[in-house]
Amino acid sequence: MVFQVMPFTSALHSAFWPLISNKKLTELRLDESPLPALAKYANNNKEGVPATLCLEWDAFDPKLLLQSATFLAKGSVVNTNTIETFKTMDKKEFLAQEADTLWKLMLNGEAIQEPSRLCSWVLLMHADLKKYLYYYWFAFPSFELPGTLEQKANPKAVESELRLELCEHLLKSFEDWKRLNSEISGFFFVRIEESTSVKILSLAEGIKPGVKFDYIGLADPSSMDEHPGVPLRNLLTLLMIQCPEKLLGDFKVLCLRQIRHGSNPIGKSVVLSMSYSGEKLANQPRSFGWESDESGRMLPRCVNMKSSMDPQSLAESALDLNLKLMKWRLVPDLDLDLIKNTKCLLLGAGTLGCNVARCLLGWGVRSISFVDCAKVSYSNPVRQSLFTFEDCLAGSDKAKAAAHMMKKIFPGCKSAHYNLRVPMPGHAISEALEKGVLDDFNLLDRIVQEHDVIFLLMDSRESRWLPTVMGATYKKIVINAALGLDSFVVMRHGTRDSRSFQDPNAKANAFLGGKDVTYVPGHDLGCYFCTDIVAPGNSTADRTLDQQCTVTRPGVSYQAAALAVELLSSLLQHPKKAEAPAAVYSKSYQGGDSLESTGILGVVPHTIRGSLQNFQQFTPTSMLFPKCSACSEKVIEAFKDKKFDFLKRAAADKKYLEDLVGLTEMLNVEGLEEDVFTLDDDDLTD
């Protein structure tokens, strides 16, 4: 009958690839000569499991540990320098050389001393270390067996050959012997000495003239009742070369499988009855052994290890996992992708800008762009968490240095930087400067449109004006944070649409009705300028040096930056997003849920004001002001209509804005001017 074996299937542990990459970089470099390596296989494969030959993390460790039922297979790795060599190499010739080597080992007897060489294998591969791509092809060289060797019958279950008691003795003897001879334990001879005693002989012992045995044995990786595993093929070849007289006539092979069947601990083992009528094998038979790919084709395979080896990918998955734990354990409805994919534009890369960026990164936000026109100064690094002393020495641009540091912290961060000065009202634009201001205006106009969220984190009141106008025009989420000496304000600007400009007085009355809690919808919430009844002017004109520096208690910016980002995350996780209403509480409010303004992460306030004077925090809500100089209908229309000309006029004369929105009229008619005082914002810094 036809002698057939179950072939090996290669199994490369994911830990093998970093190992070979490291070898390539530190030892092999451009060397393409075969690198000896150690693989393992088992003889306890359950039914249906392929006979796997595994290369793992210990493939180059001479002291690798062989567990029970695990055996050694010595082979080699050939790593080509280029993908072309890997592709064009003559595969027939390559395998023929490997077979030659194996044949010589059998002839000169080295394979008797080192039987693990009989499970011969070679891994031909190319490692593309830049892309973490590994092309590979396994071969298990073995030889065609002569016709003088015959399998006489189907394999017999071991229990029909040996009594249970003997099977138990056999296993014990084998395990005792393997403990002392683990590296050579894949092949052996079995001698039944008495009815209760089994002796295991090594290949070297059993092959000697005159030594008797009952079975030729091998640790069999096959899981099939009908077929032994492939190692038997090379074992028989070796014996036909080294001691054909021991095979002459009939002989038996014990395919030892350490897997229980019923009460028999090696019950899945089989015994093969064979016969040999030939002479000493003298000429090298035909060889074969390339492994087919997953679909059974004779082709190499490729594995992409980027996700598990690229440090950048590792950092990304670690960050995402951290956030997913929050979702899995505490907030199952959290939409992490929404936060992750939100594009944030940070206007101002000072203390607020740096800390807002760090906090956004903590939420997994990937796209964080910086706008600033200053250079890193010696006073910056201690408070501005993205700069170092070296940035001062180099005179780096703040936006660029901040973006650079973000990538250093997290390479997956897509951080753009723009060195531009935000044009301001009340700062007349001279002809000489007009071209530069126009460029800044156009750039700002473009990048505001390209982002989803605009953070206003600058150090002056009027620099927030133009981005507020743009944010309202393009319906962006605008988060504003400003600092005083020991206080801060963090707020979200209301979104603007046609509903925002319908009969404001009627709405105000409705919202401020008699209930304990009422709600102002997102499109009716105020902006930073809505509480002012004068247009922003040049607040830096008469600043002293003190006022231009960061004169705040250091902790305030951390507080405000953290709240600004958390306000955004709460807003994004509210079912209505930017339209999320903010609660207004009456004096009789006793506490309790503010349901409508509560999203997945809790309440979404409009404004958060805090102070270190008394360590208190308030969340007032204010409505839009129909005559606001930054977000009212007339401003948005004028901006859409005139763009840069609108800015030029507002820059030249702050009266222009006041006239446009009707503030002048209101102030004159109502005679309020003397009674009005606005909060002094000069101590606002970034």
Q: Which residues are catalytic?
A: 549
Residues 657-686 that bind Zn ion (CB under 5 A): none
Give the three-state DSSP class for 674: coil
CB of 568: closest distance to Zn ion in angstroms?
19
Counting other chains too, the contacts that 33-38 makes at CB distance below 8 Å and 24 or more residues apart are 33/78, 34/76, 34/77, 34/78, 34/122, 35/60, 35/76, 35/77, 35/78, 35/79, 36/74, 36/75, 36/76, 37/74, 37/75, 37/76, 37/77, 37/123, 38/62, 38/64, 38/72, 38/73, 38/74, 38/75
Interaction of residue 136 with Zn ion, rule CB under 5 A: no
Burial, 157: exposed, middle or buried (Cβ in 10 Å; 0-12, 13-18, 19+)? Answer: middle
Instruction: Tell me how many residues contact Zn ion (CB under 5 A).
Output: 6
Nearer to Zn ion, 236 or 631 (CB): 631
Q: Which stretch binds Zn ion (CB under 5 A): 61-69, 91-99, 265-273, 623-631?
A: 623-631
Minimal distance, residue 586 CB to Zn ion, in Å: 24
Q: Does 604 bind Zn ion (CB under 5 A)?
A: no
Work out how close the CB of 579 gets to Zn ion at its nearest, in angstroms, rounded to a whole number. Answer: 17
Kindly state whether residue 491 participates in binding Zn ion, applying the rule CB under 5 A. Answer: no
> For Zn ion, which is the closer residue by CB, 245 or 665?
665
Residue 115 or 471 having the CB closest to Zn ion: 471
Select 251 or 529, whichever has its Cβ closest to Zn ion. Answer: 529
State the minimum distance, in angstroms, from the CB of residue 683 to Zn ion: 22
In angstroms, give the least distance from the CB of 374 to Zn ion.
27
Helices (H), 481-579: 504-511, 545-548, 554-572
Helix (H, G, I), strand (E, B) or coil at 544: coil
Q: Residue 529 interacts with Zn ion (CB under 5 A)?
A: yes
Radius of gyration, CA atoms only, the chain:
40
- Of 68-87, binders to Zn ion (CB under 5 A) are none
Residue type, 196: T
As beta bridge partners, residue 427 has: none
Q: Which of 347, 482, 628, 657 binds Zn ion (CB under 5 A)?
A: 628
Interacting span for Zn ion (CB under 5 A) from 56-64, 542-550, 555-563, 629-637: 629-637
Question: What's the one-letter identity of residue 155?
Answer: P
- Report the nearest approach of Zn ion to the CB of residue 335 (Å): 29
The one segment of 169-177, 206-214, 322-330, 626-634 that binds Zn ion by CB under 5 A:
626-634
Of residues 457, 459, 379, 373, the one with CA closest to residue 417: 373
Instruction: State yes or no: residue 465 binds Zn ion (CB under 5 A).
Output: no
The span of 290-298, 495-503, 526-534, 570-578 binding Zn ion (CB under 5 A) equals 526-534
The binder of Zn ion chosen from 631, 636, 647, 684 (CB under 5 A): 631
Residue 527 found at the interface with Zn ion (CB under 5 A): yes
Name residues whose C-beta falls within 8 Å of residue 391's C-beta, 6 or more positions apart in sequence.
376, 380, 381, 401
Instruction: Classify residue 370 by its DSSP letter.
Output: E
Token pair, residue 162, equals 């040996």
Q: Contact between 530 and Zn ion (CB under 5 A)?
A: yes
Residue whose CB is less far from Zn ion, 399 or 631: 631
CB 6 within 8 A of CB 51: yes
Nearer to Zn ion, 405 or 527 (CB): 527
Residue span binding Zn ion (CB under 5 A) among the ranges 107-115, 140-148, 308-316, 625-633: 625-633
User: Taking the chain, what is the end-to-end CA distance rounded to the nearest angstrom?
Assistant: 88
Q: Are 220 and 5 in contact (CB under 8 A)?
A: no
Helices of type H across 48-163: 83-88, 91-107, 110-113
- Find the angle CA(278)-CA(283)-CA(287) to the nearest 5 degrees: 100
CB of 672 to Zn ion, least distance (A): 18
**Which spans of this chain sit near Zn ion (rule: CB under 5 A)?**
527, 529-530, 628, 630-631
